[in-house]
Amino acid sequence: MARTLITKPHLLLLDEPLSAMDRKLRERLRKEIKELHGQWNIPFVLVTHCRCEAELGDKVFKAEKGEDKGETIMRFYQSA
């Protein structure tokens, strides 16, 4: 992540960044990601299967199976 941030990106894409971490490390890194987001003031797009990581987002899009024909539906949730 440091190598990416040094290039001063306009957007940071994080694809399952904490998936291989144990619980304690995940908790610590979630806090660090939230702090980085505030410091860099750029949009982060984080893809995850973990609800606790989804809570990092200001806006959450959830992919769900549709009722008709099994199609994928994207639902938007605004964080509180």
CA distance readout (Å), 80 to 16, 29, 55, 57, 60: 23, 21, 10, 10, 11
CATH number of 2-78: 3.40.50.300
CA 29 to chain centre: 12
Please name every residue paired with 72 in a beta bridge, in sequence order, or none if there are none: 65
Residue 50's SS3 state is: coil
Predicted structure pTM score: 0.69
- Could you read off the pLDDT of 25-72 as tens digits, one per residue? 999 999 998 888 888 888 988 888 888 887 888 888 877 766 666 566
